[in-house]
Amino acid sequence: MVRDFKIGDKIIRKRDGKLFTYIGTDDSDDDNYGHVKEMLVPVYLPDFEKVEDKQ
């Protein structure tokens, strides 16, 4: 499943509410993994959701 995250998007981890910055896809063939600025290892993207702008 491809997520519609764009580089620079703020995403929140569903289980604990921590905020991260999406910086790109992982080099693997699995679209479920990507990278966030705050972590060195790939993260499982279905565990995250995009933070919507409040305007």
Token code pair at residue 7: 């580089």
Q: Check residue 55 and give its pLDDT.
A: 56
Using 50, 70 and 90 to split pLDDT, how confident is the model at 1?
A: very low
Per residue in 3-49, pLDDT (tens digit) is 689 999 999 999 999 999 999 999 988 989 999 999 999 999 999 99
The answer to whether the Cα torsion of 39, 1, 16, 51 is positive or negative is positive
pTM of this structure: 0.84
